[in-house]
Structure 1
Amino acid sequence: METIVSTEGLSKEYGGVFRVKHVDLQIREGEVYGFLGPNGAGKSTTMKMLLGLVKPTQGTVHLFGKQMNDKNRVEILRQTGALIESPSYYGHLTGMENLRVMQKLLDIPEKNLREALRIVRLENQAGKKVSHYSLGMKQRLGIAMALMRFPKLLVLDEPTNGLDPAGIEEIRELIKALPQQYGMTVMLSSHLLAEVDQMATAVGIIDHGELIFQNSLEVLRRKSAHYVAVRTQDSEEAARLLERYRPKREAGWLLLENLSDAAVAQINQQLVCSGVQVFRIEERQRSLEEIFLDLTGKEGAL
């Protein structure tokens, strides 16, 4: 597959501190690339550098096989659409009037405008002043503006921000369909791991400005090893008896990894024969959030 986005050593320094440090991105054609990280990790700054909105301190950006510079930036960006941080709009104009401003600036066909409105389901609100829109409706309008050119690359910063659960599901299904229906490659940022898990085919994880993981979502899921959780009436004695399995303790449970079915049966028998009552044995799998916390060393949810 063609590489749509690639960066080499991409870095940005503010006040002597690197907010983005030596990031090497690889986004291939047709991917939905989830760019994950906590607030302040460098997601928005990286996206701004991809679009030429922020000048890198170091490194290069290649879009569609061309190294972006001041001379070819406008030409390259004709093939992109973006919504960064929050949508820009004229509050005193209606949703349709805002889109018409974009239509004239970008010389976009009328059919694109109508289709973008349909996709984000704002057709019935297009005549309403944007100042009266809810946060979710404003977000939809911003996505419609990004979609109007039906670009080869769509860059979305927190695209479901402000949406209710039904709206999140609609945007999620839209993003998943864009590569197949419209031939787009999508890069989206989020701090919601479950959201990216349901949309992305590839994932990049950034923390303190450094890219600490980049690969397909399937490779990330493989890190989600299965383990067995055992709860007994005496966790101290159970841990002593099962010491050779190197159990980890978590809220009254003993967690044991890499066990066969035979080993689980043997553990159960050993505990019961030693007079330790076994209340529960469960097979579990680490969630994407747990994997993220392991990779970044964070102690709390994003």
Structure 2
Amino acid sequence: MQFISHQDQHLTLSDTAKPQLKTNEVLIKVAAIGVNRADCMQRQGKYPAPQGDSPILGLECAGTVIELGTEVDQSWLNRAVFTLCADGAYSEYVAVDAAQLMALPRDLTMAQGAAISEVYLTAFGALFQLGKLQAGQTALIHAGASGVGGAAIQMAKRIGATVVITAGSDEKCEHARALGADHVINYKTTDFVEYMQHHQLTANVIVDPVSGRYLNKNAEIAAMDCQIIMLAFLDGRFAEVDFARLLQKRISFHASTLRNRSQAFKRQLRDEFVAMFYDDIANQRFDFNIYETLPWQQAMQAHEILERNENAGKVILTVQ
């Protein structure tokens, strides 16, 4: 099969053998691939695959099941699916744990399917598993125009929460508003703490891929018993923390990643997400927030879009 190899930070099409299936796995003929910042970091040598995962890039895809492991239900054969992958999605074929598959609804394209798994499951875990977000509460979502941000906005609004986002341009703010955000803050021109204090807003749940200097700022506008979920540290690895404020408000701080979670965790996450939001996906109540779709021969250009922080939403590769 062909796959996209990465060497010396460059991406090129290469050839390798098809994956060998484990008993619990299916083989997917890949039609579309979601591009994520983790892919860029892995290409740069900063984020190696967890032990036992495929060395090939790619954390999510959509495609058609063409082969089954011996323990897999026969009903999956020849079905269109979208799914998380334990790496390996940048290829013509990928082996995936069958318990993590989600059936692609008839009216969705493969590109739309490839835009869902990583960002929606990440946002779902942050907002609902860790954040315990409820109707009537307020969620603050940093990087609100990102793929995860767009998914978080829509799910939070779906359950009746108020959504505040930050983003780095007026255009990205308007994009987030179109997805349902109630308050949009361009962090380059407006301090989000001042904005929220002026509008008498406090956050019950904060989804934060920025961290660094944002930790103390988040604490300033946190509600009592706020849940802060750190997904990345774009502002840097280290920060001074005002522990008195954290204690005063009984703030809980979670550092969360999805890629290195156990198979059992990912299966449960998938099941809870499907139970709560699959009907919304099937009925296209969500915008799947695709910024650009490129042929997989242009994978390097796709990475450059993310590295320039150009995109509002997902970048998708189609396998041709």
TM-score (norm 2): 0.24
TM-score (norm 1): 0.25
Greater relative contact order: 1 or 2 (C-alpha under 8 angstroms, separation 6 or more)? 1
Bigger helix share: 1
